[in-house]
Structure 1
Amino acid sequence: MPIKACVFDAYGTLFDVAAAAREAAAEPGREALAACWQKLAGDWRLKQLQYTWLRAVADAHTDFWEVTQNGLDWALEANGLQGDAELRARLLALYFELSAYPEVPKMLAQLKAAGFATAILSNGEPKMLAGAVESAGVSDVLDDVLSVQDVGVFKPHASVYQMVNTRFGTASDEVLFVSSNGWDAAHASGFGFTTVWVNRAGEPMDRLPWTPAHVLSDLTTIPDLAGAA
């Protein structure tokens, strides 16, 4: 079936999750963070994701903002920065205004001009997502921002992906789903979406029962891919 809706994961896909630590590290007086910001950003993201998976399997859902804070607290301690309350507050504030990857605004505008429905499907808490969308200036090229808060479980639960079909009245094979997380794209493939893994870091393919239909290094060619599917 032709693609009707192009749906994107938010964090790491449209929005640069390393931006908060990178930008804070560049501020005056942040020498301790500057020495380890890349590791801290990686630790923060990994724990954030791990906590969503653990909460999903344990039926212990909470909002993504709490998970984000929990992940940051672990990362700060792992990097010897746990006593800096001002730094913690600054990093969390920056997470609300993450920058988009450079190709994102043009890519979304091209999709809208071509007549595709566009949306975000994210673990993110609605206020977090609203902040990122506003900061990136892409609200006018998105038809909706879907949060797992509406179903009370994190990805990759099937009920999360079903939110797209419910919202847009699509069959699964009419959806192009794009994620920077290989596991997310893989599970979405299992759900029936046509999928793209945006593998910016050149990582190996996850060993799962399903694989993404396409692998790209950035989002530039998504409009062409959607039109050809």
Structure 2
Amino acid sequence: MPITTCIFDAYGTLFDVAAAARQAAQEPAHAKLRETWAEVAAHWRLKQLQYTWLRAVMDQHADFWGVTQNGLDWALEAAGLQGDAALRQRLLDLYWELQCYPEVPEMLAALRTGGRQTAILSNGSPAMLDGAVRSAGIAHVLDDILSVESVGVFKPDSRVYDLVGARFGCAPEEVLFVSSNGWDAAAASCYGFRTAWVNRAGEPVDRLPWTPDTILSDLTTIPAEAGL
């Protein structure tokens, strides 16, 4: 069955989650971050994800913005920067303006030109996602932005993936689901989507019963994966 709909995770897939810490570290006011920004960015992302998984299995949902702040607080304390309120606020402000990866606009435009439906499916709250999409200037090449807030549970709960068929009226086999998270791609494969894992860091494949259909180093060839 041909691909009709291309669905993208947001953070780490379309948007560079390390960009906030990297940019803040370059600013004179936050010189203390220069030596540890990469560690802070990695810990921030890891804790953000871990907290979503824990909340999902414990049935204790919270807005993703609160989870994002919790993850940052852990990361800053781990780096010995927990007392810097100005740095914390700057990092949070920058998270609403994350840069997209350089190949993203052209890739999404090619999908739309080729007649594919395109959307984001993310743990992010609607306001966070709208801010990132506007900042990146990619709203015109997306058909929709789908947030887990409409079902009140984080990925990889199947109710999140159900949002795609409900919105676009497509069968799972018609969907190419793209994520930078190996576990997300694996779960989407289990659900029935065709999947592409964008493995920019060259990480090993997760030891799960399901594996991505395709592993890529960036998003450049997604139109070809969609049959264009």
Q: Equivalent residue for 1:5?
A: 5
CA–CA distance in 1 between the matches of 2:43 and 2:216? Answer: 24
1:74 aligns with 2:74: yes
1:59 aligns with 2:59: yes
Q: CA deviation at 1:32?
A: 1.1
Q: The residue matched to 1:29 in structure 2 has which SS?
A: helix
Q: CA deviation at 1:31?
A: 1.9
Q: CA deviation at 1:40?
A: 0.3
Matches within 5 A, 1:78-227: 78-227=78-227
CA–CA distance in 2 between the matches of 1:15 and 1:172? Answer: 25
Q: Equivalent residue for 1:27?
A: 27
Q: CA deviation at 1:54?
A: 0.2
CA RMSD in angstroms, aligned pairs only: 0.6
Q: The residue matched to 2:50 in structure 1 has which SS?
A: helix
Q: CA deviation at 1:29?
A: 2.9
Identity of aligned residues (%): 71
CA–CA distance in 1 between the matches of 2:72 and 2:225? Answer: 36
Q: CA deviation at 1:30?
A: 1.8
Q: CA deviation at 1:101?
A: 0.1
CA–CA distance in 2 between the matches of 1:19 and 1:88? Answer: 14
- AA of the residue aligned to 1:49: L
Deviations 1:145-186 (A, max 9, x none): 000000000000000001001100000000000000000000
Deviations 1:33-66 (A, max 9, x none): 0110000000000000000000000000001000
Consecutive unaligned residues of structure 1, counting only runs of 5 or more, are none
CA–CA distance in 1 between the matches of 2:30 and 2:61? Answer: 34
Deviations 1:127-152 (A, max 9, x none): 10001000100000000000000000
CA–CA distance in 2 between the matches of 1:102 and 1:138? Answer: 12
Q: The residue matched to 2:120 in structure 1 has which SS?
A: strand
Q: CA deviation at 1:79?
A: 0.3
For these two proteins, the number of residue pairs brought into alignment is 228
1:48 aligns with 2:55: no
CA–CA distance in 1 between the matches of 2:224 and 2:214? Answer: 13
Q: How does the TM-score come out when normalised to structure 1?
A: 0.99
Q: CA deviation at 1:225?
A: 1.0
CA–CA distance in 1 between the matches of 2:149 and 2:225? Answer: 30
CA–CA distance in 2 between the matches of 1:208 and 1:188? Answer: 12
Q: The residue matched to 2:20 in structure 1 has which SS?
A: helix
Q: The residue matched to 1:146 in structure 2 has which SS?
A: strand
